[in-house]
């Protein structure tokens, strides 16, 4: 009975007679989870359970994790995916073998005091904008994705400061907006601070 329930909860009932060798990466991860759940553990440790898994399987896997948590199982997950970390109730940021901070995702993000702006510039001016932000003491961290630049500051409003800095440098701006800081922003900020 327990095995049937675990196979059903992990979506493997229809494949229960198949050889695991033929399973996709996502199915193999679900099988790993099913094996860990057969004995109905009170606490479950999962080491990067979704590494190399497709987006649909990742989402389904996290639905299983949340279902386990709702049923009273404590689930400890290690991950390098910060979007997954945001789904957890509590986080421990570890860097170089040291715990940098522990808390709820919203607490950790708030503790950094980050202001974040997203700016869209011309493809031809991305390099100049990156150079401007790389050397600015006001910038806690920045990243660009194509011609979208994400700037995080502490102590100054990211949107006001970055749009003024671009204007002063003569770099045209197509659009800009304030956005919320993420767990990834907080982690990168902590790691960069720890390195300096």
Q: Which of 11-15, 25-29, 175-179 shows the highest mean pLDDT? A: 175-179
What is the pLDDT averaged over residues 133-151?
A: 92
Residue 95: pLDDT band by 50, 70, 90 thresholds? very high
Q: Is position 109 within any domain?
A: no
If asked whether residues 54 and 7 sit together in one domain, one would say yes
If asked whether residues 74 and 122 sit together in one domain, one would say no
Number of domains, the chain: 2
- DSSP per residue over 20-58, as a string? GGG--HHHHHHHHHHHHHTT--SEEEEESTTTT--HHHH
Domain, as residue range, for 72: 2-80
Q: What pLDDT is attached to residue 30?
A: 82
If asked whether residues 66 and 124 sit together in one domain, one would say no
Q: What pLDDT is attached to residue 117?
A: 98
Q: Is position 186 within any domain?
A: no
C-alpha to C-alpha distance for 179 and 62, rounded to whole angstroms? 25
**97's tokens:** 């073998």
**192's tokens:** 């960069």
DSSP 168: H
pLDDT in tens, 96-132: 999 999 999 999 999 999 999 999 999 999 999 999 9
CATH number at residue 64: 3.40.50.300
> Residue 18 pLDDT more than 90?
no
pLDDT in tens, 35-68: 888 888 999 999 998 888 888 888 888 998 999 9
Contact 71, 37 (CB under 8 A): no
If asked whether residues 75 and 131 sit together in one domain, one would say no
Q: Is position 188 within any domain?
A: no
What is the pLDDT averaged over residues 134-161?
A: 94
Q: Is position 93 within any domain?
A: no
CATH number at residue 137: 3.30.70.100
Q: Which of 93, 43, 39, 47 is nearest to 69 (CA)?
A: 43
Q: Rounded mean pLDDT of the chain?
A: 91
If asked whether residues 16 and 76 sit together in one domain, one would say yes
C-alpha to C-alpha distance for 177 and 116, rounded to whole angstroms? 9
Q: Is position 148 within any domain?
A: yes
If asked whether residues 72 and 12 sit together in one domain, one would say yes
């Amino acid at each position: 009975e327990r095995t049937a329930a675990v196979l059903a909860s992990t979506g493997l009932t229809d494949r229960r007679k198949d050889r695991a060798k033929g399973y996709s990466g996502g199915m193999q991860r679900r099988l790993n989870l099913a094996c860990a759940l057969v004995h109905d553990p009170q606490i479950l440790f999962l080491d990067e359970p979704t590494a190399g898994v497709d987006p649909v399987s990742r989402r389904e896997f996290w639905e299983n994790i949340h279902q386990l948590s709702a049923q009273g199982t404590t689930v400890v997950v290690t991950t390098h995916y910060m979007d997954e970390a945001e789904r957890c109730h509590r986080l421990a940021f570890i860097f170089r073998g040291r715990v940098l901070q522990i808390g709820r995702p919203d607490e950790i993000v708030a503790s950094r005091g980050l202001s974040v702006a997203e700016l869209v510039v011309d493809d031809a001016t991305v390099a100049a904008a990156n150079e401007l932000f790389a050397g600015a003491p006001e910038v806690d961290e920045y990243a660009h994705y194509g011609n979208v630049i994400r700037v995080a500051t502490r102590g100054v409003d990211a949107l006001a400061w970055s749009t003024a800095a671009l204007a002063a440098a003569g770099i045209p701006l197509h659009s800009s907006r304030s956005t919320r800081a993420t767990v990834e922003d907080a982690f990168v900020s902590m790691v960069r601070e720890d390195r300096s």
